[in-house]
Amino acid sequence: MKRLCLILAACLAWAAAPASARADGVTMRVVTVAPGARQLEAAARFDMLAFKGRGTIRFRTHRLAGGWTRWQPADDDAMWVGDSDRFEVRAPSRVRAYEIDSPVTTAPERRVASASEPAIVTRAGWGADEEIVRAKPVYAPAVKLAIVHHTVSPNTYTPAQAAAIVRGIETYHVKGNGWNDIGYNFLVDRFGNVYEGRAGGIDRNVVGAHSEGFNTGTVGISLIGSFQTAQPPKAMQDALVGLLAWRLDVAHVDPLSTVVYTSGGNAKFRAGKAVTLRAISGHRDTGPTECPGAAAYALLPAIAQRVAATGLPKLYAPTVVGVLGGPIRFQARLSRSLAWSVTVVDRSGRTVAAGGGNGALVDWTWSSPIGVKGPFAWTISAPGIRVATGTIGGGKIVPPPPLALTDVSALPSVITPAADGTIAPATLSFTLSAPATVTVKLVDVASRAAVQTISSGTRPAGPSTVQWSPASVPDGSYQLVVTARSGGARATRWADVVVDREVSGVSVSPAVFSPNHDLMFDTATFGFLLARPAHVQLDVLAGSQLVASVFAGDLAAGANTIVWDGSGFGPPLPDGEYTAVLTVDGIAVPIAVRIDDTPPQLQLVDRPSLVFSVDEACTVRVVLNGKTVLTLNESPGTFQVPASGAVTSVSAQAIDVAGNVSAIVSG
């Protein structure tokens, strides 16, 4: 079959009539192109672009003041492209394009709410369209960490264009993605301006839509620009430090701490997976992306150190454990040794208990009397810190949170048979803000008809999963539509899935290889079965960036293999995680593969007790007194080799899963 490739431009035809949306001066035009469509048509002016589709999407634009730009990979978010009148896209399948015109006005003014709060451009300041916001904000009980992103816009915009970029992103997030509001909690431009993102209160725990599966209890901050190779400028770094220092202090989070977060589910971490994250993490730590770019990501440890040293002293991790009528323990950490105090007051403000001490650790217990009734307000304070406050017992009844349905995803999203012909079920994941009656239906994308009801019943608040077996449905594109109802409230979201039996038994061996020409695991072999002759393409991506085109051509039915030697378009690809995308007649199947060309580091830590250390999982061969005595499978860290009798000589060597061999250590 012929290779599916779209060439979409201001000179292209749309498969369906374009839809338009207007948001307070921001115009968005949505166009859909069927595979292979090529017909000339004039396009409207735009300055931002976004794309949705399967496989690698690359594009270029024709500038009003110049010629065509270079080809570049599309990002998940809306991208600033400047004044343009047409564009071209290359993609292996159907593409939906979003042309956004966000007029440039004037640079907005910032405001400072308090001495400790950074200067922030409010939503009114950058011109947010409050009429398109779909629902009231949802709040998390607490903020646990911050996640840093970048918008993948060019780094040459003006202050006025920065505000236009924020307006365009809001329109795309709401009108294009179907989100309630702009996804980020804050944005920062290259001039050091901080923009208020999702509405609901800059110092409140507003749940955004910036990191699938990790939105609740996190604050999402996006750097306006592209920072894969370029470093964020000093003004942007300084503004990010000031914003993080203030916002994490409001949440009493130590910027140098780590947090164990339970994933709500995405393509990198299944729902329920416990993930250890830094208090200041990059988007790539939580999902399958290169965001916030390699250059910005490399700066995050230094940023965290600067944040920790800004605005001292600080109070971290206040906790209160116990119930009224018994001991109630108050604990916290201080950034340095201080005189601290804990105060408990009743409804009238009368102090009922108080304690204090000196040091960097707050630890005091109130022996509350039996039969005492609340509510009581407590405060932990020390000179110069932002005090921590809360309540114990009683108080007014807090209404349940508004119904929200978030983090909807299906894994895998492209479902193919195994080598034996069986099809494993897919897992649909989603998160509820409140208990609700949930119905999950399978809808055919082409006909918009419901094919089957997969699940229906009451589910509690929090992450949920539903298993779906596609065995009884034909090949095609579907949506798993989730509808939640609670009282009079209703929320609907969906996840796209594709069933394709044309290709099956997709595998890669080895999944970790070292293309260093040592004749050991130098290549990765991709195997698959084709039900009929088909056009096949194998590309390799690093995050969303195309780094290698391994194969493109027609293959016969039956078993097929494609070998990749690890090479890319330019210099040898570095060690790291990659996604190989096998596209069969327009259906893309992602396959995880890793390049590891770095030998393990093996050390003899203590000769008398035969204690070694190794920096990665590997197999260790140990020779004692000139004889090989054992081979160990060891995890990263230290390990001890058992021995009986005197040991006059010892040597060892490690080999990792990619076949890299360490230097021999001896003693």
Q: What is the DSSP string of 312-338?
A: -S-EEEEEEE--TTSEEEEEEEEEEEE
At 23, the pLDDT band (50, 70, 90 cuts) reads very low
Amino acid at 559: A
At 294, the pLDDT band (50, 70, 90 cuts) reads very high
Q: Give the pLDDT of residue 662.
A: 94
| C-alpha distances in Å from residue 244, one per residue of 110, 145, 364, 541, 584 | 17, 10, 29, 31, 45
Q: What is the pLDDT of residues 585-634, one digit of tens each?
A: 777 788 999 999 999 999 999 898 898 999 988 999 999 998 887 888 88
Q: Of 317-331, 381-395, 520-534, which gets the smallest average pLDDT?
A: 381-395
Q: What is the pLDDT of residues 533-589, one digit of tens each?
A: 989 999 999 887 889 999 999 999 999 999 999 999 888 899 999 999 898 877 778
Task: Tell whether omega for the bond before 435 is within 30 degrees of 0, i.e. cis.
Answer: no
Question: Which carries the bigger pLDDT value, residue 398 or residue 160?
Answer: 160
Q: Give the pLDDT of residue 33.
A: 66
Token pair belonging to 27: 């115009």
Q: Count CB neighbours of 276 within 10 A.
A: 9
Place of tokens 């290698």: 548
Amino acid at 405: L
At 424, the pLDDT band (50, 70, 90 cuts) reads confident
Q: What is the pLDDT of residues 115-168, one digit of tens each?
A: 467 889 999 999 999 999 999 999 999 999 999 999 988 898 998 899 999 999
| C-alpha distances in Å from residue 2, one per residue of 5, 555, 559, 640 | 9, 11, 20, 59
Q: Of 382-391, 396-405, 648-657, which gets the smallest average pLDDT?
A: 396-405
Q: How far is it, in rounded angstroms, from Cα 514 to Cα 518?
A: 9
Q: What angle do CA 108, 113, 117 make, to 5 degrees?
A: 95
Q: How far is it, in rounded angstroms, from Cα 236 to Cα 223?
A: 8
Q: Is the pLDDT of residue 39 over 70?
A: no
Q: Is the pLDDT of residue 302 over 80?
A: yes
| C-alpha distances in Å from residue 608, one per residue of 432, 454, 649, 655 | 57, 63, 11, 24
pLDDT, mean of residues 74-97:
85
Question: Phi and psi dihedrals of 178, rounded to 5?
Answer: 80, 20
Q: How far is it, in rounded angstroms, from Cα 98 to Cα 76?
A: 12
Question: Which carries the bigger pLDDT value, residue 13 or residue 65?
Answer: 65
Q: Give the pLDDT of residue 58.
A: 85
Buried b / exposed e over 77-92, threshold 16 CB at 10 Å, is bbbbbbebebbbbbbb
Question: Which carries the bigger pLDDT value, residue 323 or residue 512?
Answer: 512
Q: Give the pLDDT of residue 306.
A: 95
Share of the chain above pLDDT 90, in %: 52
Q: List the one residue out of 643, 644, 645, 620 whose CA is nearest residue 633.
A: 620
In this structure, what DSSP letter does residue 174 have? I
pLDDT, mean of residues 346-375:
90
Which one of 56-60, 329-333, 568-572 scores highest in mean pLDDT? 329-333
Residues 6+ apart with CB under 8 A from 249: 116, 311, 314, 386
| C-alpha distances in Å from residue 568, one per residue of 48, 290, 291, 550, 595 | 30, 17, 21, 8, 12
Q: Is the pLDDT of residue 24 over 80?
A: no
Token pair belonging to 635: 């995890």
Q: How far is it, in rounded angstroms, from Cα 303 to Cα 314?
A: 17
Check if the beta carbon of residue 618 is closer than 8 Å to that of residue 537. no
Q: Give the pLDDT of residue 411.
A: 85
pLDDT, mean of residues 404-409:
88
Token pair belonging to 470: 């596609």
Q: Give the pLDDT of residue 419.
A: 63
User: Average pLDDT, whole number, for the chain?
Assistant: 86
Q: Give the pLDDT of residue 207.
A: 96
At 401, the pLDDT band (50, 70, 90 cuts) reads low
- Go through the chain and tell me how many residues it has: 667
Global pTM reads 0.59
Q: Is the pLDDT of residue 38 over 60?
A: no
Q: What is the pLDDT of residues 446-486, one digit of tens each?
A: 788 889 999 998 888 888 999 998 888 888 888 999 999 88
Check if the beta carbon of residue 150 is closer than 8 Å to that of residue 76. no
Amino acid at 387: V
Amino acid at 443: V
- Rounded to the nearest angstrom, the gap between the alpha carbon of residue 269 and the centroid of all alpha carbons in its chain is 10
Amino acid at 228: Q
Q: Is the pLDDT of residue 272 over 80?
A: yes
Q: Is the pLDDT of residue 667 over 90?
A: no
